[in-house]
Amino acid sequence: MPDTLAAPAATRPTGWKQVSLQGWGRSSLSPCLAARPERLRELHAALDAPEGRTLIAHGGGRSYGDAALNTDGAVVVTGRLDRILGFDPATGELVAEPGVTFADLLEVFLPRGFIAPVSPGTSHVTLGGALANDVHGKNHHHAGSFGEHVLWFDLLLPDGRMQRVSPESDPALFQATVGGIGLTGIVAALCLRLTRVPSNALAVSRRRVRNLDGFLAAFEAAAGATWSVGWIDALAGGASLGRGVLETAEPSEARVESRPPRARRFPVDAPGWLLNGLSVRAFNELYWRRVPAAGQQATVPYRQFLYPLDAIDGWNRMYGKQGFRQFQCVVPPGPGEAALRRLLETVAAGGNASFLAVLKVMGRDGPGMLSFGMPGYSLALDIPARPGSEAIFTQLERITRDSGGRIYLAKDSLLSAEGFAAMYPRAGEFRAVRERVDPQRRLSSDMARRIGL
Amino acid sequence: MSDTWVILGASSAVARAFAREAASHGAALVLAGRDMEDLEHQAADLAIRYGVPAMPLRFEARDLATHAGFVAECRRRAGDGLLNVFLAFGVMPDQAAADADPEVAAGMVEANFTGAASVLGALAPVLEAQRGGTVVALGSVAGDRGRKRNFLYGATKAALLVYLQGYAARLSGAGVRVLCIKAGPVDTGMTWALPKLPFMASPRGFAAAAWQRAGKGGGSAYLPGIWWPVMTIIRLLPTPIFNKLNI
Ligand SMILES: Cc1cc2nc3c(=O)[nH]c(=O)nc-3n(C[C@H](O)[C@H](O)[C@H](O)COP(=O)(O)OP(=O)(O)OC[C@H]3O[C@@H](n4cnc5c(N)ncnc54)[C@H](O)[C@@H]3O)c2cc1C
Ligand SMILES: NC(=O)c1ccc[n+]([C@@H]2O[C@H](COP(=O)([O-])OP(=O)(O)OC[C@H]3O[C@@H](n4cnc5c(N)ncnc54)[C@H](OP(=O)(O)O)[C@@H]3O)[C@@H](O)[C@H]2O)c1
């Protein structure tokens, strides 16, 4: 036998390929080199980016902006690392590789009576991406953010060491990595506690709300609900400013028949004129009218409630070639209420065709140094990328910042470095951890450079 | 006792997807390969997702002397159930590297052909004895006609196909099905860094199609099916024209 066999079967050298990536909003193209490890050993090897380039992990690519982009640098695509490594039905504790998605969890564990404790609005998000943005769901006011349910993770540090990190073993590194937009290392595995549910469905109730004050009161009244979310018609102004539909939900004891999903695909980039004020206005109006004045109750499968947008694959192409941006902020109760009004007025006045905006109550601060969560109201809305549309973000950033709120990095592509510094008071602690684990700044991203990290 | 699929080269992305496909149909798995850490992880994944037993087993295609013992171990692990085989291991260094270094060239022949023939040879009596079962092996469209770009690789796959034809004939009396899949490009680590390839299949879609095709019987089959017309044309091109093409 040739003696090359004696060497550890370090298979092929890492394949790097030139690609052009986009955030989910598709508002810009980012050329870079990409590796896609198929397994742990290849992940280790991929840390060695060619030509001394910086590196960032790229999960499901569901961040709207540039959190997972690294123009002229390198990215490590983690989607193929999708093995479920352990599950204990007694405790609900799951150990999984970072490329496992919420769709996987739903498929494998809902039939056994477990769901993810916290779930973003699309099931195509990976667990690694969920950790790195410390994502939240429609149950934030109860369950907090994703990172609160993570018991530990294995972090591949920039120097090649693998460290198991729990809130006890290394609190600073834990808190820097949860919500740390991939800048402390690459998560190679994580342990997450799933939540037990009685059936595959939830009991949902929907009702119309006339305006913003009505919404704030309705949320207050619905504080006991397990899940709650408000869909706002962001084009309605005047006395109807903030009108929309409030959805609340509880786990249902009764099952519903649920067919395996078959997503339709949005076929092409829509022409720019499709989303003009009129068509969006009509859609939003319909959405509002669909709910009878007396309200509506339904028992629906988790998938439908948690991931409504997943019914259309590639729906982001609806905004045409130029793409769109999302704005999401959280503002504190009190000053935040006036800020919400100003944010909605600014968008409505700009006539920026935005589909339904999402309003949510948030319950508490997240565990990460750069976690988005804080007590208050979160507002999210889409704005098509058109010449001049960036200006409106400057206004939205200003309003958010003045009210003591913050902008969500998972959705962001325009936040200024000063804005970031003002909104994320623990950024200094974060920098200190980064100095410890990545003194040479081998990890970086477009977002990191833009916001001054 | 349920059927067992022995996956040879189980760390391959195609093999991984096929193992999931088989597990989703209730099969037990023997995951044979060299990256034992990865095989352990995969075994856990299959057991949790599909509730089937999955066992890692070391396998080195080029270490011919170990094949008899390996096959005996597979037979033991399959218990009383039918043993089936999915052969996925293989390497594809580029032609220039193989031209420059005879070790590379010989290594590819050893892995893709010699190793395959050896382990299949060792499996034959076991398959005959059980009077049934299915063997699926991954050939390639590259085996249909030697192209400038990768004719040594193509030659190993062509040799594998011819071997499988005779193998199928030998085992047909025992009711064993033998299927050679002439695979088009699949989106795996083998093809990731290559320039864009036409009709790229996802491992998952490919594995589902392979499973379905295997249920229909032996022989050979192009996957994805579009490669049948494409390769028919390529095979029929007159040599002077073919030689001018840069494919
Ligand atoms: C339709 C839609 C609805 C959404 N709804 C919500 C919502 O309700 N709540 C919410 O909180 N968010 C929501 N999001 C945002 C989304 O949850 C986050 O952007 C999430 O981080 C995306 O994860 P991803 O797997 O796509 O990773 P990417 O977007 O590819 O990456 C996100 C970040 O994670 C890092 N990362 C990825 N993998 C790893 C790893 N293995 N190790 C270290 N870092 C890693 C990347 O470097 C990057 O900084 C939504 C997005 C969409 C498209
Ligand atoms: N991808 C395509 O486009 C394509 C097209 C046509 C045919 N095929 C064929 O399909 C099969 C799977 O390919 P893939 O794309 O999934 O590639 P892959 O990921 O590179 O998988 C190949 C596997 O073969 C294993 N292997 C290589 N040499 C071995 C040896 N000497 N002993 C044991 N195992 C060995 C490797 O094991 P290690 O992990 O230990 O290295 C690896 O897991 C291959 O036979 C390939 O030729 C692929």
Which residues are bridge partners to A443 per DSSP?
A55
Strand order in the sheet with A376-384: A296-301, A201-209, A244-251, A227-232, A357-362, A376-384, A324-331, A406-407
Quickly list DSSP for A227-254.
EEEEEE-TT--GGGTT-EEEEEEEE-SS
Q: Which residue has the tokens 């919500």?
A: A179
Q: Tell me which residue has its CA closest to atom 16 in ligand 2.
A: B12
Higher-confidence residue: B196 or A284?
A: B196
Query: For A14-24, what is the mean pLDDT?
Result: 95
Confidence of residue A12 (pLDDT cuts 50, 70, 90): confident
Decide if the complex's ipTM is over 0.85.
Answer: yes
CB-based contacts of B11, cutoff 8 Å, min separation 6: A38, A39, B33, B34, B35, B38, B39, B42
Model pLDDT, residue A1: 35
Q: What is the pLDDT of residue A323?
A: 87
A121 in ligand 1 pocket by Cβ < 6 Å? Answer: yes
For CA atoms B247, A38, B57, B34, the dihedral sign is: positive
d(C-alpha B105, C-alpha A350), whole Å: 66
B117: tokens are 């023939």
First-residue to last-residue Cα distance in chain B:
48
* pLDDT score at A66: 97
pLDDT > 90? residue A419: yes
Rounded distance between C-alpha atoms, residue B133 and residue B230, angstroms: 31
Helix boundaries (H) for A154-211: 171-177
Query: What's the confidence (pLDDT) of residue A277?
Result: 65
CA angle B143, B149, B154 (to 5 degrees): 15
Coil, strand, or helix at residue B8? strand
Indicate the class that CATH gives domain A201-417: alpha beta
Best of B24, B31, B45 to mutate (most A CBs within 10 Å, chain A)? B45
Q: Does B25 touch chain A (CB under 8 A)?
A: no
A258-289: burial string, b at 16+ Cβ within 10 Å, e else: eeeeeeeeeeebeeeeebeeeebeebbeeebe
Dist CA A63 CA A325 (whole Å):
11
Per-residue confidence (pLDDT) for residue B1, from 0 to 100: 54
Yes or no: say if A370 and A179 are a contact pair by the CB < 8 Å rule: yes
Any CB–CB contact under 8 A between A112 and chain B? Answer: no
The pLDDT value given to residue A57: 98
Residues of B annotated as part of the active site? 153
What pLDDT, in 10s, does the model give residues A288-315?
778 888 899 999 999 999 998 888 788 7
pLDDT higher than threshold 90 for residue A281: no
Lookup result for tokens 């595995």: A189
Is A67 a pocket residue for ligand 1 (Cβ < 6 Å)?
yes
Q: Given pLDDT bands bounded at 50, 70 and 90, which one contains residue A247?
A: very high
Q: What is the pLDDT of residue A5?
A: 37
Which of A3, A4, A12, A75 would best serve as a mutation to test chain B binding (most B beta carbons within 10 A)?
A: A12
Tell me if chain A has a CB within 8 Å of the CB of B44.
yes
Would you state the pLDDT for residue A287?
76
Asked if the model's pLDDT at residue A177 lies above 90, the reply is: yes
Ligand nearest to the CA of B200: 2
Residue A390 has pLDDT above 60, yes or no: yes
Nearest residue of A to residue B61, measured between CA atoms: A5
pLDDT in tens, A335-380: 899 999 999 999 888 766 676 799 999 999 999 999 999 999 999 9
Tell which A residues from 23 to 52 touch B, by Cβ distance under 8 Å. Answer: 35-36, 38-42
CB distance from B221 to chain A under 8 Å? no
Which of chain B's residues have a Cβ under 8 Å away from the Cβ of A15?
189, 192-193
**In Å, what is the CA distance from A255 to each residue of A194, A251, A261, A298, B146?**
19, 10, 17, 12, 57
Helix H segments across chain B?
13-24, 36-50, 67-78, 95-100, 102-109, 115-130, 151-172, 203-216, 227-236, 239-244
Alpha-carbon gap, residue A325 to A382, rounded angstroms: 6
Over residues A269-298, the mean pLDDT reads: 76
On whether the CB atoms of residues A358 and A381 are closer than 8 A, the answer is yes
Share of chain A above pLDDT 90, in %: 77
Annotate A118-139 with DSSP letters as a single string.
S--S-TT-BHHHHHHTT---TT
Q: How far is the CA of B228 from the centre of ligand 2 (A)?
A: 22
Higher pLDDT, A383 or A123: A123
| Bridge partners, residue A380, by sequence | A328, A358
Residue B11 touches partner A, C-beta closer than 8 Å = yes
How much is the average pLDDT of A139-168? 97
Q: Which of B37, B48, B63 sits opposite A87 (nearest CB)?
A: B48
Average pLDDT, chain A: 92
Identify the segments of chain B with pLDDT beneath 70.
Answer: 1
Quote the ligand 2 centre to A223 CA distance (angstroms).
55
Q: Could you tell me if A174 and A166 are in contact, meaning their C-beta atoms sit under 8 angstroms apart?
A: yes
How far, in Å, are A223, A329, A344, A421 from residue A332 at the CA level? 16, 10, 16, 17
- Which ligand 2 atom sits nearest the alpha carbon of residue B15? 16
Amino acid, single-letter form, for residue B106: A
The superfamily (CATH) of domain B4-242 is NAD(P)-binding Rossmann-like Domain (3.40.50.720)
Residue A2 confidence (pLDDT): 37
The packing angle between helices B13-24 and B36-50, to 10°, is: 30
In angstroms, what is the span from residue B111 Cα to ligand 2's centroid? 10
Residues A286 and A263: their CA atoms lie apart, in Å, by 22
Pick from A89, A193, A187: nearest CA to A132: A187
| Residue minimizing CA distance to atom 1 of ligand 1 | A122
Chain mean position to CA A239 = 32
Q: Is A179 helix (H, G, I), strand (E, B) or coil?
A: coil
How far is residue A90's CA from residue A78's CA, in Å, rounded to a whole number?
Answer: 29
User: Chain A residues with CB inside 8 Å of B11's CB?
Assistant: 38-39
Query: Rounded to a whole number, what is the distance in Å from the CA of A391 to chain B's nearest CA?
Result: 39
Give the SS3 label for residue B50.
helix
CA dihedral A364, A365, A367, A368 (to 10 degrees): 150
Residue identified by tokens 């709650």 is A228
User: What residues does ligand 2 touch, defined as CB less than 6 Å away?
Assistant: A 9, 11; B 9, 11-14, 33-35, 59-62, 88-92, 111, 115, 138, 140, 183, 185-186, 188-191
| Smallest CA–CA distance from B62 into chain A, residue | A1
> For the segment B214-241, what is each residue's pLDDT rounded down to a tens digit?
999 999 999 999 999 999 999 999 999 9
Residue A9 has pLDDT above 50, yes or no: no
Instruction: Report CA-CA distances (Å) from A180 to A17, A68, A80, A355.
Output: 26, 12, 22, 29
pLDDT reported for residue A410: 98
DSSP readout, A196-220?
A: E-SSSEEEEEEEEE-SHHHHHHHHH
Q: Does B36 touch chain A (CB under 8 A)?
A: no
Helix H, strand E, coil C: the string for B133-188 is CEEEEEEEHHHCCCCHHHHHHHHHHHHHHHHHHHHHHHHHCCCCEEEEEEECCECC
Which pLDDT does position A258 carry in this prediction? 79
Lay out the sheet containing A162-165: strands in order across: A84-88, A93-96, A186-193, A150-156, A162-165
Lowest mean pLDDT among A1-5, A270-274, A351-355, A359-363: A1-5
Distance in angstroms (rounded) separating the CA atoms of residues A128 and B182: 36
Q: Which atom of ligand 2 is nearest to the CA of B188?
A: 15
Instruction: Ligand 2 pocket test: pick from B11, B30, B223 the residue with the most ligand atoms within 8 Å of its Cβ.
Output: B11
Identify all chain A residues contacting B41, using CB atoms and an 8 Å cutoff. 39-40, 83, 85, 97
Which tokens in the block code for residue A84? 């479920």
pLDDT digits (tens, 9 = 90+) for A55-99: 999 999 999 999 999 999 999 999 999 999 999 999 999 999 999
Cis check for the bond before B224: say yes or no (omega within 30 of 0): yes
Query: How many CB atoms are closer than 10 A to CB B193?
Result: 17
Q: How many contacts (CB atoms, under 8 Å) link A and B?
A: 59
Phi and psi torsions of A42, nearest 5°: -70, -30
Q: Where are the domains positioned within chain B?
A: 4-242
